[in-house]
Structure 1
Amino acid sequence: MKTANGQEVIQLFESWSPKKLACMENDPIGLAIGTLNKEVTKVLVTLDVNEEVADEAIRNGCQLIIAHHPPIFRKLSNLRTDTPAGKLYEKLIKHDVAVYAAHTNLDVANGGVNDLLADALQLENRQILEQTYSENLMKLAVFVPDSHADRLRLELSKIGAGAIGDYDSCSFSTDGKGRFRPLEGADPFIGEIGEIEVTDEEKIEVVFPPSIKNKVLKAMLNVHPYEEPAYDLYTLAVETDQMGLGRVGTLNEPMTLEQFAKYVKKQLDVPTVRVVGDKNAKVKKVAVVGGDGNKYIHVAKRSGADVFVTGDMYFHVAQDAQSIGLNIVDPGHHVEKVMIKGVTQKMMELCSQKKLSVQFIESKVNTEPFTFI
């Protein structure tokens, strides 16, 4: 195992939950306080950052905090240390504790907040509730001499090019003749200076997600024997990596709304829930959005969900849900605390794969502001 710096830790985090997945305008994600340019041996994972969490990080010797809710949500016009927020920022800076926030990108990421909530509710046949992100597939078409075609196909498949659904190593080849004339100064793999050369070549075509474009080009250039490989690069209309907010899935066995509300309390570890709908209504298909899901009631209804699990439900939105026949179970915003264990486990796994010696600590501070009586 080797030591890591903050940049390495966050690069691993963003390989799983990249910033590009953020779906809220001006979402203040990323490094909020401090620097990542330092050695990191301990990381505290938390839902929120308050003074008690800061003290917990300092007490545990953490150099970095990964939080879901950004500690600086709006632009600062000043930084006064005689305010509660200013005191918090001062304490973190004085103790050299950096804070990195992953907000809506962590909501959208596969295995992120919404998947963790769906896991807790044991939802099956799971799908995205609302798509917020996708990429268009790209295609490489490269002309290569027959002698190097098989090796090129192999190297491209190793880095993920040619993966389509449940298949990999997918490609299409066309045989043809390549023609060229090497000029003075060239060092041709085939042919003579000043002479037209005609050689047997294959046109190899593979598709790949744009996230690996640089790797695809590097692999192609490393294998290709020509000084100046001939290739085309296209962006296709076919979408890939469709991701989004919320999840919708089914329960193993149907329940009444009352039974389901009690189930949510238990599975999400909350003292109470608010319910909209007939307590005897049958529940089988469930939509869930972590945090505030008020604007998704119609999306949830269109998904065919019998019940929508989300927090911070407004009075009039609850009435709207009732009018369209959508049952609601509101366990509060704080259920997003599931990310603490989820992020900890994921980052331990990623760091172990890279043989990085980093300890991830689950915050024990309860940042729920409400007391239920």
Structure 2
Amino acid sequence: MWMFIVRHIMETLESWISPDWAMPQDRVGLMIGSPERPVQHVLIALDVTEEVVKEAVDTKAGLIIAHHSPLFHPASHLRTDTPEGRMFKELLGHDIAVYVMHTNFDVAPGGMNDLLAERLGLRQVKVLKETWREKLYKLSVFVPLEARDQVFMAIGDAGAGHLGNYSHCTFQAEGTGTFWPREGAMPTIGAVGELTRVPEVRLETIVPERKLQKVIRAMLAAHPYEEVAYDLYALANEGEALGLGRIGELASEVTLSEFAEMVKERLDLQGMRVVGAADQKVRRVAVLGGSGAQFMEEAWSMGADVFVTGDIDYHEAMWAASRSLALIDAGHHIERVMKARVKSYLTDAYRSSSYPLSISVAERERDPFRFML
């Protein structure tokens, strides 16, 4: 019986979140296990811990998709009398694969920082720190007139021709295609040994690099010809800007105290650390999931009234206070918003599949910090 394997799920994820978007030295992709491992259940977690691995064993998960890599820091030893060693022993003993999307998920459209910006109700959202410009390609394919619509819809549905809030953008020009089928050919139109002239349309569109292979596969599957004539051109046009953090505007100005209460509620926090006067007015908000203090200057230079991030230390807080940049240290654990998003994406991707694959989010992981007031 056909089954999903890790590689299938990797390909689905990487058509959405490219590993190439990760920051230098980051560790993303398949960290543990074989891409050929069969999978019937996937567990999604922020961190790979002993508790999460036990949950994976109990739910018979063949794959854990995590945000933080269990191998981020090189191991000097692998002793099974340590928590880390016991965890790896369980993973290997139960043949559980681990796939990581870290900073590539952070920068992605619809990824970590867009999720946080959406939770906070930000408008006119922009990238805080650009890290990547996506490459663009021009695809030009020659199609017989009767197959124009099926090829056009196939490549548009696969992601070609998306410009801003418009999809399926193409230019189409009619002309005459010629070909001479030789011995061994199996032409859809014409006959072997005869020069054939066919009314065709040249269909041109733009394709972002991350969707290029998917678009080409869709084009080849929809095209009626045995041999498809098409051209690809690398473009000098700049693609979408990707990067860490987001900055945007609240619907209306509020006090820092009011905004902090909103952050606490919308990110489901027990508490947080705040820098700034309670009555300070805020409207322009920067947010960066994880440890974002190193991007504080970008937030300040782009006019943020408040910066929401995690893991801020004393000296960084003092720097911000001296510049009247309010801070909300909401903790690193706010990144758990990724779990529901990844589950939603995979559920939608495999909704029409007739093969068994269940997906769940880890319930046993906890923020290591608690607040005492």
**Shared fold by TM > 0.5?**
yes
2:8 aligns to what?
8
Rate the CA distance shift 1:121–1:170 in 2: closer, same or farther, 3 A. closer
Give the stretch that moved more between structures: 204-213 or 56-65. 204-213
Quote the Cα distance in structure 1 between the aligned partners of 2:93 and 2:56.
13
| Maintained 8 Å contact 1:137/1:209 | yes
How far is the alpha carbon of 1:283 from its aligned partner?
1.3
**29-38 vs 65-74, greater mean Cα deviation:** 29-38
**1:126 counterpart residue number:** 125
Structure 1 CA distance for aligned equivalents of residues 344 and 198 of structure 2:
54
Closer/same/farther in 2, CA of residues 186 and 245 from structure 1, 3 Å limit: same
Q: Which residue of 2 aligns with 1:65?
A: 64
Q: Which has the larger radius of gyration?
A: 1
Q: CA deviation at 1:44?
A: 2.0
Secondary structure at 1:132 match in 2: strand
- The count of residues paired between Structure 1 and Structure 2 equals 372
Looking at structure 2, the residues matched to 295 and 215 of structure 1 have their Cα atoms a distance apart, in angstroms, of: 36
Match of residue 74 from structure 2 = 75
Structure 1 match to 2:304? 305
- Is residue 33–residue 89 contact of structure 1 (8 Å, CA) maintained in 2? no
Secondary structure, counterpart of 1:28 in structure 2: coil
Secondary structure, counterpart of 2:113 in structure 1: helix
- Backbone CA RMSD of aligned residues: 3.6
Partners of 1:246 and 1:288 within 8 A in 2: yes
Shift of 1:174: 5.9
The Cα of 1:48 is off from its aligned counterpart by 1.3
SS in 1 for 2:238: strand
Higher mean Cα deviation, 65-74 or 204-213? 204-213
Asked if the contact 1:48–1:367 (Cα under 8 Å) also holds between the matched residues in 2, the reply is no
How much identity, in percent, do the aligned residues show?
Answer: 43
Per-residue deviation, 1:294: 0.8
Q: Which moved more, 1:150-159 or 1:267-276?
A: 150-159
Q: Give the Cα separation in 2 of the matches to 1:323 and 1:182.
A: 76
CA deviation profile, 1:311-343 (whole Å, cap 9, x unmatched): 011222222222333111111111112222332
Offset at residue 71 of structure 1 (A): 0.9
TM-score, scaled relative to structure 1: 0.83
Q: Which residue of 2 aligns with 1:94?
A: 93
**Any conservation in 2 of the 1:351–1:357 contact (CA below 8 Å)?**
no
Q: How does 1:256-275 map to 2 (within 5 A)?
A: 256-275=255-274
- CA spacing shift, 1:296–1:150, aligned 2, 3 Å: same
Counterpart position of 2:243: 244
- 1:163 and 1:312 map into 2 onto residues whose CA distance is 37
Give the aligned residue type for 2:118: D
Consecutive unaligned residues of structure 1, counting only runs of 5 or more, are none
Instruction: Name the CA shift for 1:356/1:316 in 2 (closer, same or farther; >3 Å).
Output: farther
- Any stretches of 5+ residues in structure 2 without a counterpart? none
The match for 2:336 is 337
Superposed displacement of residue 158, structure 1: 5.2
Query: Using a 3 Å threshold, how does the CA distance of structure 1 residues 142 and 75 change in structure 2: closer, same or farther?
Result: same
With 136-145 and 120-129 compared, the bigger mean Cα shift is at 136-145
- Structure 1 counterpart of 2:370: 371
Instruction: Quickly say closer, same or farther: Cα 1:150–1:340, change in 2 above 3 A.
Output: closer
Matched AA of 2:248? G
Shift of 1:56: 2.0
Q: 1:2 to 1:278 in 2, by over 3 A?
A: farther
Q: For the structure 1 residues 280 and 241, does the alpha-carbon distance in structure 2 shift closer, same or farther, using more than 3 Å as the test?
A: same
Shift in Å, 1:36:
3.8
